[in-house]
Chains A and B, each alone.
Chain A
Amino acid sequence: MYLPNQNEFFIDPARCIGCEACVQACSECDTHKGHAMIHLEHVDRGQSTQTVPVVCMHCESPTCAEVCPADAIKKTDDGVVQSARKPRCVACNNCVLACPFGVPKMITDFELMMKCDLCYDRTSAGKKPMCASVCPSGALYFGPRAQIEQLRPRSTPVNKFQFGRQTVATKVHMMAPKGPAKAQYVDVTDAMNETGRGQRISLDILSTMYVSEEQP
């Protein structure tokens, strides 16, 4: 079913401009028609313009699947963590509460958890996920690793995240600074006391953006 290809998903929240194009596009995906699975969070709406797009990171060992009492969450052979199996999900909310990234959504009406499945209908056929196909600022990028490394010379993809004592490795990568300060992982819980940073960072990063960064 899956055609192996060299495309990978890279997220770069610092580039997000909060335009919501991803949210609109997401709800057009055939595997969850009418329901946007991507989250677009305002970090602190009153104080800053910073926004964060959150897609499923497709953990190598998904906490959501492990805490599911109904065995409803499965991973494909190519590492995509799927939405809950429809006949099995008992709508208990364990996955929603346990996912370290806050990804699954409980659709109460359907008694069903739904989540980002990397637009499996598209990515398994070699296409980009809906969100990445419309993101104007490259915050959501789907393509070959060599290409993004060339386009963003100051960044490097990281796919390990630290939550307290737990390290979580994921299929989706986050862009982090390169060079001597290169982080081995993104320490999420270390940011507990951080506040929104306004546009300072995004403008800074956007200024280094290659003008020719057209995604094929």
Chain B
Amino acid sequence: MSKEKLKANIWAFVVTAILARLITLGSGNLDRFDAALVGYTFATLFAAFGITRRYALWLQRPPTAMYWTRGWKVFFLLLHPRHIVSNLFRFFQRLFVHYAFNDFIWRRGRMRWLAHWYIMWGCVIAGGITFPLVFGWVHFASEPDNLEWYRVRLFGYPTVAFPIRSLVGFLTFHGLVWSSILVIIGVLLALRRRLHDHGAAALQEFGEDILPLFLLFAISVTGLMLTASYTWMKGYGYDFLAILHALTVIFTLLWLPFGKFFHIFQRSATVGVAFYQDVGKQGEQAKCRRCGEEFASRMHVEDLITVEQQLGYHYEMPDSPVEHYQWICPRCRRVLLGLAQGQLWSGVRDQESGIS
């Protein structure tokens, strides 16, 4: 086993073990654990293993590792007492506009945004409800002196209470219905774009682009069918639906580390990137060694030179004052392409006219 894989496996094992311990702790040594949910629990543990493993492998790729270490260094630099207030403000602002609102997807297209926003929030709400319930971290118990009231218990400890027959009660107990509806609307909007958009149609692949939408749709619809079954149909087909629903969820959980859903975890990297760029802008800039214009932060260019060397590229220019091609700006690189071709032709012409 390679060093990278070994490291990733260890991390994955540790994270899974911690989660398992939290499940036994939270559920009072499985006292409050619902045995019917054991399939979901094991699928989650496997997913935690897979996601951590892939995340750890990913962090060890040279460009990612560079951002990872730099990101943390830059982060602590920004925590300096002089900047901490403005930087924390920027951090929370970014958390809100980027992660919660998805402002950048809004700018890519309103329909794209609407689809994603519904899907994301539907899944966040559903995950926020189901995981703590399945793990036994949260459960509802009626008050001994008042059966009309429920008290929320967190890790077994009593917290707030609310009347069962109330708006809060209605909204809470149907949380998964609301989130399913959000997801279904989002998925249909996304599918609509994928069916109509000529460009998307040319690029999309079943496993990467269609299957995730299909899975979310299947989870939400089978979930709603469960609610319909016990609410209006006296539990008709409930056992079958419960198995179907569990299968769709378990498959999705097991698939989280592999396909498109991995972006949920991987996009955390944008925080580091944003800090890196902030610090880069404040520091020394790199000047193109052909045209003299500033084109990036010096730190970025130097880091890229390191990463390229780690990857086995040799853009060094030992006989030139330029030293490394990374010191040439993108515009000059494009111009050089034309100049290089011109140089070949001028060589031919010189030969033809007898000058060599």
Contacts and interface: CB of A to CB of B under 8 A. Distances in A.
Is chain B found bound to chain A in the same assembly? yes
A6 B174 CA distance: 58
Contacts of B66: 69
B77 interface: no
Contacts of A67: 63, 304, 307-308, 311
B166 interface: no
B75 interface: no
A166 B199 contact: no
A177 B348 contact: yes
A16 B335 CA distance: 13
A88 B266 contact: yes
A137 interface: no
Given A13-B338, A69-B63, A70-B266, A120 B348 contact: no
Contacts of B324: 164
A213 interface: no
A206 interface: no
B325 A102 contact: no
B334 A101 contact: yes
A90 B316 contact: no
Nearest to A74: B208
B247 to A, nearest CB: 25
A17 to B, nearest CB: 13
B228 interface: no
B184 to A, nearest CB: 20
Given A100-B325, A177-B347, A191-B340, A31 B334 contact: no
Nearest to B311: A66
Interface size class of chain B, counting residues whose CB lies under 8 Å from the partner chain: 35 or more
A22 B219 CA distance: 46
B107 A88 contact: no
A102 B66 CA distance: 22
Contacts of A91: 270, 273
Contact of A41 (B61, B334, B342): B334
Contact of B343 (A69, A110, A120, A190): A190
A102 B269 contact: no
B63 A41 contact: no
A98 B308 contact: yes
B313 interface: yes
Contacts of A164: 314-318, 320, 324-325
Given A69-B64, A163-B315, A166-B315, A30 B202 contact: yes
B269 A70 contact: yes
Interface in B308-340: 308, 311, 313-318, 320, 322, 324-326, 329-340
A89 to B, nearest CB: 9
Contacts, number: 212
Given A67-B308, A197-B346, A166 B341 contact: no
B198 interface: yes
A184 B307 CA distance: 28
A100 B347 contact: no
Contact of B341 (A14, A41, A99, A163): A14
Given A69-B64, A163-B315, A191 B336 contact: yes
A135 interface: no
A165 B203 contact: no
Interface string B4-24: 000000000000000000000
A176 B334 contact: no
B259 to A, nearest CB: 10
B246 interface: no
Query: Ordered nearest first, which 8 A-B pairs have the shortest CB separation?
Result: A52-B338, A121-B202, A102-B333, A102-B330, A30-B199, A164-B317, A87-B263, A191-B340
Given A33-B199, A52-B335, A164-B318, 17 more contacts: A13-B337, A43-B339, A63-B308, A66-B313, A69-B269, A87-B263, A90-B273, A92-B67, A92-B277, A102-B334, A121-B201, A161-B340, A163-B315, A164-B314, A177-B344, A192-B336, A201-B349
Interface of A: 1, 12-14, 16, 29-33, 39, 41, 43, 50-52, 54, 63, 66-71, 82, 86-88, 90-94, 96-103, 109-112, 117, 120-121, 124-125, 161, 163-166, 174-177, 179-181, 183, 186-192, 194-197, 201, 204-205
